[in-house]
């Protein structure tokens, strides 16, 4: 009797350890999907209608001021500016699709004692007026080596700046007065003490005003006498978090590199470019500086115009661009390397319920169906337990990111949560659909090009905490953690990564954005591409239909198309794909697209709904235990490593069965408590995307028929059924799913 009691106790404890909450019924899962669709419809109806029409023109309209040293050595550069000003205006117009208004101003400066010391033409759209003013400038004067640069900057600040994109082009072959701005020595400077010039100006005050007025600055370097000035100005611009760069030939280049961080979003442009002793490059350098400035203006302006400015007319006048009012207050971030394998380091456990993209079997019609309607981007229900680090390691404007892992996997993830808890599940679900459409585009893109230029998008899943849990109604998203060097390839407002032009992933990313516009016949354009190598995350989709992805604050519609084509230059990948759409078509409104798209190669996605990596069918891992599923090399071994033997809580006799906990977690389902012979629930196999109005392609199998022939079920008979009845009554909470 004692031995039997001990056996009963051991088995009861084992059942408790193996036990878990019952899984969702098919009815409940369908109810949740319907409820999500209802919430999405309500959220879409409440979302402010996009008012980004005119955004492109507003941010590309430019105030361009030439700040020119007009002392004796500068005659050829003044003449070059006069000769090229019309071409410069024309080039800027073409670069901005002939939509932007460009005004020009000129400040000419000499040195103290020269008369006139400062000559000034305020902003005007008239090229003839600018040419006439340049004709009046004479290259004379200049006493000691430095010149009155600061007096020229003061006059520039007093111009009537209006447009959102503002740019000073500074052409100089001599530095300002003051020993902190040059390396000429005090003997070469009549006003070597900072602030000792007749006007009493210092650079710090003037540059602070330039930053406050959101003026981008480009120095066209003639010689190395301006190197220290450029470096000192660069340091003063640091407060604006700009994209700051010096020429490699600048003697302060190394120091500048150690104190700068390149950015493609939001900051002002500070740039030093090599004009040299000739002036043939003037036109190109000016246009490049202006277009780069406009890209940064767009990055600052777009969030405000798409959210806070929704429903309002865009103003061509400059407005102070600030962070959104709902920005998350700064939180303490953890700056340590993740300790994935340290027990207890992931110190918060959350039980979640939510949604992910259905693992697709992609066929010839899948992309067309997805482009046709959001209902064809099908979602499935997930229930999941994750372990995450309580302290976040990164912070965005409204979300924080923490390291995370799921309960039954070694895969690494990032959990992103909204600190204010004001984001609805429907908004996150739209992001999941957006990422899914991008992946569908990528499947066809890869099939056309092969492995050299293949790309992929990580999958995301959206969740909220279970009722009564610590999360409450807070919503979070979960996505794979990318390890490696993070690169931004392009943005949704025209930025293009020019630092790595020959990198295959960069070339593929630029061509992919173009491909999405071409393949969709001008209805979609995927941009804002960033990630590690070919694995990308957080894309933006511009849509022709204003009702698609309406909750996205990065969807700028037709203006988004303009931003892309204004900066895109087709590369070899574009040409290999035979893409026909171009910037001239955007300007004219008359389009021509490639008509034929060959059938795609046999590609699949990893069947783990939290992975979904694109695979070639020939290289995908398959198992007889899980027919119809495909696995990447990371997920494949976990099917076996998380295989367990559990006691079946079905009818007697007592027996054990083998089950892969990883497999069920990868499908967002609870691990079953009964063996395959005693299960009555449907087993859902991977399914293809189902077009609206078409029959559901879901494959269902029930009961013992779902068990693969030859799968082992271990069983051990016991003396009588009463023993098993006692165990079941002792574990009544462990009901089968």
Residue 103, pLDDT above cutoff 80:
yes
Residue 211, pLDDT above cutoff 60:
yes
Q: If you search the block for the tokens 């941009």, which residue do you land on? A: 527
Q: If you search the block for the tokens 């600055």, which residue do you land on? A: 217
Q: Which has more pLDDT, 630 or 736?
A: 630
Q: Percent of the chain beyond pLDDT 90?
A: 58
Contact call for residues 100 and 92 (beta carbons, < 8 A): yes
Confidence (pLDDT) at 649: 85
- 506-543, pLDDT tens digit by residue? 999 999 999 999 999 999 999 999 999 999 999 999 99
Tell me the domains of the chain and their CATH numbers: 66-305 (3.40.50.410), 326-603 (3.20.200.10)
Please report, for residues 4, 59, 356, 384, 484, the alpha-carbon distance to residue 472 in angstroms, rounded to integers and kept in the order given. 45, 41, 20, 15, 34
Contact call for residues 170 and 108 (beta carbons, < 8 A): no
Contact call for residues 402 and 417 (beta carbons, < 8 A): yes
- 568-581, pLDDT tens digit by residue? 999 999 999 999 99
- Residue 585 phi/psi, 5-degree rounding, is -70, -35
CA–CA separation, 435 and 414 (whole Å): 16
Strand spans (E) along 332-426:
348-357, 379-388, 394-395, 399-406, 413-418
Confidence (pLDDT) at 157: 98
- 328-379, pLDDT tens digit by residue? 556 788 988 999 999 999 999 999 999 998 866 678 889 999 999 999 999 9
CA–CA separation, 508 and 131 (whole Å): 43
Cα angle 4, 5, 7 (rounded to 5 degrees) comes to 65
Contact call for residues 95 and 287 (beta carbons, < 8 A): yes
Which residues are registered as beta bridge partners of 457?
A: 536
Confidence grade of residue 1 (pLDDT, cut at 50, 70, 90): low
Q: What is the mean pLDDT of the chain?
A: 83
Q: Which has more pLDDT, 649 or 311?
A: 649
CA–CA separation, 110 and 139 (whole Å): 9
How do beta strands 102-109 and 379-388 pair?
A: unpaired
Confidence (pLDDT) at 673: 86
- 692-707, pLDDT tens digit by residue? 444 333 323 233 333 3
Confidence grade of residue 631 (pLDDT, cut at 50, 70, 90): very high
- 218-260, pLDDT tens digit by residue? 999 999 999 999 999 999 888 776 567 899 999 999 988 876 5
Q: Percent of the chain beyond pLDDT 70?
A: 80
Confidence (pLDDT) at 685: 53
Nearest partner of 401 among 386, 418, 387, judged by Cα: 418
Report DSSP letters for 478-528, one per residue: EEEPP-S-EEE-B-TTS-B--S-TT-HHHHHHHHHHHHHHHHTTSSEEEE-
Confidence grade of residue 708 (pLDDT, cut at 50, 70, 90): very low
Q: Is 504 exposed, middle or buried (0-12, 13-18, 19+ CB in 10 A)?
A: middle
Contact call for residues 104 and 122 (beta carbons, < 8 A): no
pTM: 0.83
Confidence grade of residue 310 (pLDDT, cut at 50, 70, 90): very low
């Amino acid at each position: 009797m004692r031995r039997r009691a001990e056996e009963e106790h051991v088995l009861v404890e084992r059942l408790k350890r193996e036990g878990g909450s019952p899984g969702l019924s098919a009815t409940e899962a369908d109810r949740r999907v319907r409820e999500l669709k209802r919430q999405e419809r309500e959220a879409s109806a409440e979302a402010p209608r996009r008012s980004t029409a005119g955004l492109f023109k507003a941010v590309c309209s430019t105030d361009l001021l030439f700040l020119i040293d007009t002392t004796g050595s500068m005659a050829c550069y003044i003449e070059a500016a006069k000769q090229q000003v019309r071409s410069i205006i024309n080039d800027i117009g073409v670069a901005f699709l002939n939509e932007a208004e460009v005004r020009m101003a000129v400040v000419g400066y000499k040195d103290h004692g020269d008369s006139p010391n400062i000559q000034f033409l305020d902003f005007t759209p008239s090229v003839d007026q600018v040419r006439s003013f340049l004709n009046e400038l004479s290259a004379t004067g200049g006493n000691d080596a430095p010149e009155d640069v600061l007096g020229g900057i003061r006059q520039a600040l007093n111009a009537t700046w209006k447009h959102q994109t503002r740019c000073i082009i500074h052409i100089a072959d001599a530095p300002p007065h003051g020993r902190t701005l040059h390396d000429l020595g005090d003997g070469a400077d009549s006003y070597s003490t900072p602030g000792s010039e007749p006007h009493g100006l210092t650079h710090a005050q003037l540059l602070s005003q330039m930053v406050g007025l959101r003026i981008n600055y480009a120095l066209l370097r003639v010689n190395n006498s301006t190197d220290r000035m450029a470096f000192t100005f660069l340091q003063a611009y640091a407060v604006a978090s700009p994209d700051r760069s010096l020429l490699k030939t600048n003697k302060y280049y190394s120091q500048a590199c150690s104190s700068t961080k390149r950015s493609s979003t939001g900051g002002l442009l500070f740039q030093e470019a090599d004009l040299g002793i000739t002036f043939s490059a003037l036109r190109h350098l000016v246009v490049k500086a202006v277009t780069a400035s406009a890209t940064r203006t767009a990055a600052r302006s777009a969030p405000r115009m798409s959210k806070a400015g929704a429903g309002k007319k865009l103003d061509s006048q400059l407005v102070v661009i600030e962070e959104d009012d709902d920005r998350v207050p700064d939180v303490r971030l953890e700056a340590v390397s993740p300790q994935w394998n340290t027990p207890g380091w992931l110190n918060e456990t959350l039980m979640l319920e939510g949604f992910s993209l259905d693992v697709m079997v992609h066929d010839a019609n899948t992309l067309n169906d997805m482009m046709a309607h959001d209902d064809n981007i099908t979602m499935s229900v997930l229930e999941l337990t994750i372990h995450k680090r309580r302290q976040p390691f990164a912070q965005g404007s409204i979300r924080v990111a923490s390291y995370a892992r799921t309960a039954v996997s070694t895969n690494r993830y990032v959990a992103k949560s909204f600190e204010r808890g004001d984001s609805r599940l429907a908004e996150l679900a739209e992001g999941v659909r957006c990422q899914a459409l991008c992946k569908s585009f990528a499947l066809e893109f890869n099939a056309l090009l092969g492995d050299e230029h293949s790309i992929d998008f990580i999958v995301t899943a959206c969740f909220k905490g279970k009722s009564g849990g610590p999360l409450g109604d807070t919503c979070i998203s979960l996505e794979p953690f990318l390890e490696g060097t993070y690169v931004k390839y392009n943005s949704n407002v025209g930025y293009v990564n020019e630092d790595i032009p020959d990198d295959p992933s960069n070339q593929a990313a630029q061509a992919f954005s173009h491909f999405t516009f071409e393949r969709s016949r001008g209805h979609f354009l995927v941009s804002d591409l960033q990630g590690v190598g070919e694995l990308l995350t957080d894309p933006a989709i511009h849509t022709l239909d204003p009702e698609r992805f309406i909750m996205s604050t990065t969807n700028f519609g037709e203006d988004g198309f303009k931003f892309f084509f204004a900066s895109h230059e087709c590369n070899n990948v574009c040409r290999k794909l035979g893409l026909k759409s171009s910037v001239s078509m955007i300007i004219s409104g008359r389009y021509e697209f490639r008509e034929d798209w060959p059938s795609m190669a046999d590609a699949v996605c990893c069947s783990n709904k939290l992975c979904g990596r694109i695979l070639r069918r020939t290289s995908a891992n398959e198992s007889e235990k899980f027919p119809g599923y495909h696995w990447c090399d990371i997920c494949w071994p976990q099917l076996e490593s998380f295989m367990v033997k559990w006691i079946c809580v079905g009818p007697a006799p007592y027996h054990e069965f083998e089950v892969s906990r990883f497999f069920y977690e990868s499908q967002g389902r609870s691990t079953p408590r009964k063996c395959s012979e005693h299960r009555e629930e449907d087993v859902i196999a991977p399914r293809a995307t189902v077009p609206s109005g078409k029959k559901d392609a879901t494959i269902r199998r029930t009961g013992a028929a779902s068990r693969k022939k030859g799968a082992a079920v271990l069983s051990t008979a016991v003396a009588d059924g009463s023993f098993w009845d006692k165990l079941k009554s002792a574990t009544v909470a462990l009901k089968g799913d």
